[in-house]
Structure 1
């Protein structure tokens, strides 16, 4: 009786593990394959001044004539931030390939955590 019960529990464990692994692989495949498309437009950002990655002060208005993609981030984020950063990198690579990044399109990334997200940390 115990052997039969242990066998059922073992089979159940492996079935559940297989289902979870298949779900994770399927989800990753979907994100990579279908993750493209248009980014939503949330609205127009008001003008502001900030320090860029080189330490130079810029304003949003100084980027007039270019499409500005504004995103918020923090470097100490284990969840969605790495996936968002990866997707932004894909977009940047495609824009560079098309000759549009920097010329027609710029990214403006704003940290949620300026205390921890110092220039050296962001550059790294």
Structure 2
């Protein structure tokens, strides 16, 4: 009986460990596809393989989001100021915000969203959406960017998206470094420390 109990416990522990290792390895291999291409807040093409070789904090959001997205953007804006004080924002790290609703979030809407949060349009915080003339294909691009990180989103039909609540730090080659919670759980100090560790 005792041997059976020990065997069962051992199998459970092996299963848990294997599950943890699966998620660790999966995250470690996550990379934004180099050929992924969207447009920025000015309607200009942005291709990830041609992006600046900097650390990037990647946020997925949509401008009509009533809670978690604007809270995250606001906290990222405060984090940006912390990084500016250290002299690294724009030089060694930049922010990328990608809409999950390119139909509504046109380049003009993204620009207005930046203004609403008093975000300086200096090329160091880039807002990405779809080309209004190529929305269906660009929505596929957004899905291809989100998929390696297992960021999921869907519109249940009321315009308020259900989505994963995570932001992602990627390295100079757009490869996963670490994920962080969104909204009220976005710990500015934790994200700051991780970014500084990676620089």
- Fold similarity call, TM over 0.5: yes
- What is aligned with 1:50? 38
Gaps of 5+ in 1: 1-40
4+ aligned runs moved over 3 Å, structure 1 = none
Deviation at 1:116, TM superposition (A): 0.8
Given candidates 33, 53, 73, the residue that maps to 2:61 is 73
Aligned length: 84
Given candidates 83, 101, 112, the residue that maps to 2:89 is 101
- What is aligned with 1:63? 51
| Distance in 1 (alpha carbons) for counterparts of 2:32 and 2:79 | 20
Structure whose residues are more often helix by fraction: 1
Deviation at 1:52, TM superposition (A): 1.2
Alignment TM-score, normalising by the size of structure 1: 0.60
Gaps of 5+ in 2: 1-26, 113-199
Equivalent position SS for 1:72: strand
| Distance in 2 (alpha carbons) for counterparts of 1:84 and 1:57 | 25
Deviation at 1:104, TM superposition (A): 0.9
| Distance in 1 (alpha carbons) for counterparts of 2:33 and 2:58 | 11
Q: Which has the higher contact order (CA 8 A, sep 6+)?
A: 2
Given candidates 106, 113, 122, the residue that maps to 2:110 is 122
Deviation at 1:64, TM superposition (A): 4.5
* Cα pair 2:42 2:108 within 8 Å, conserved: no
* Cα pair 2:59 2:96 within 8 Å, conserved: yes
| Distance in 1 (alpha carbons) for counterparts of 2:79 and 2:60 | 16
